[in-house]
Each structure stands twice: as C-alpha cells, then as structure tokens.
Amino acid sequence: MRYSDRSGGLSTQERAKRERLRFRAADMFAGNIEPPRVAQLLGITRKSAYEWYALWSEGGKVALASKGAAGNGCKLTDEQLTQLEEALEQGTAAHGWDDQRWTTSRIAVLIAERFQVSYTARGVAYLLGRLGWAGCSRCRRSEPPDR
C-alpha cells in the first residue's frame, strides 16, 4: 500500500481515513507492538511504520494527526487567482517584459513576485488549465473557468 500525506489533493474523507490508520498504529505502538508487526497488521510498508513510530515516540498520538487541509492542491487563494487573471489580462509589457508572450516561466516569476508563492513552470501550466487559459505562448482564455 502506498501511503503519503505529502502528495496533497486528498479529500476530507481520504484524509480522515488515513489519520484513523495512523492512530491505530499509535495504539499498537502504545501496546508495545513493534513497527514491522504493525506494518503487517495494517497493510502498510515497514518504512511508513518506522516513520510513524519515530513521530509517535517523540510526540505521541497527536504527532500522527493529519496536517494540512484537504483541497485542490492550489497554492493561491481565490482572491489571488482573480488577481493573477487580471495581471495576465494586462499583458506582459505591464509587468516589465518587452514582448507580449506569456510563458509558464514568466507567469511563475509573476506569481513569486506578487504572491510570494513558488510554482514550477509545469505547475503553472496545470494552474492555467484550471483557470481556462490555453496556449501559453500567447495565453488566452479558452472558456470561462468552473469555480
């Protein structure tokens, strides 16, 4: 079973289910069950069991609580997304570039400067798709976004 809360994008139900699994592991650790046996009983990897054991040893059951919020994986708020769209509509010249070509790299720079949030070029491409912008060499809205 592959298991990680680091991947993000989990629904509230999935996050709660995984947290319950970690809490079961904590109860087993408290009952002096070794991590390899916990892994076997819960159907998780030994690596996960040892990671959870280390967290539990230092911080107790609360250290295995779910961190982060369920969501769509977007690093920007709805308000910031609106501001980003407005900035894109202003064109590149308004933001210091000599031509009118938006690229994912330029948009990543714009996001970092304006919102202090780091995106890769690929992440920007996914973000633009969600917003309904297509053809990033000359970004244009393809359809209204579903928000």
Q: Are residues 41 and 82 in the same domain?
A: no
Cα-based torsion angle of the residue sequence 96, 102, 103, 104 in order, rounded to the nearest 10 degrees: 90
Q: Are residues 50 and 86 in the same domain?
A: no
Q: Are residues 90 and 132 in the same domain?
A: yes
pLDDT band at residue 145 under the 50/70/90 scheme: very low
The pTM (predicted TM-score) of the whole model is 0.47
User: Does 86 reside within a domain?
Assistant: yes
Q: Are residues 82 and 136 in the same domain?
A: yes
User: Does 147 reside within a domain?
Assistant: no
Q: What is the pLDDT of residues 98-136, one digit of tens each?
A: 888 888 999 999 999 999 988 888 888 888 887 887 655
**Domain carrying residue 59:** 12-64
User: Does 7 reside within a domain?
Assistant: no
Domain count across the chain = 2
Cβ 61 vs Cβ 23: under 8 Å: yes
**CB-count exposure of residue 57 (10 Å: 0-12, 13-18, 19+):** exposed
Q: What is the pLDDT of residues 50-104, one digit of tens each?
A: 999 999 998 888 888 877 554 556 788 889 889 999 999 998 999 998 888 888 9
pLDDT score for 54: 94
Question: What kind and span of H or E run contains 109?
Answer: helix 104-115
Amino acid at 119: Y
pLDDT score for 2: 42
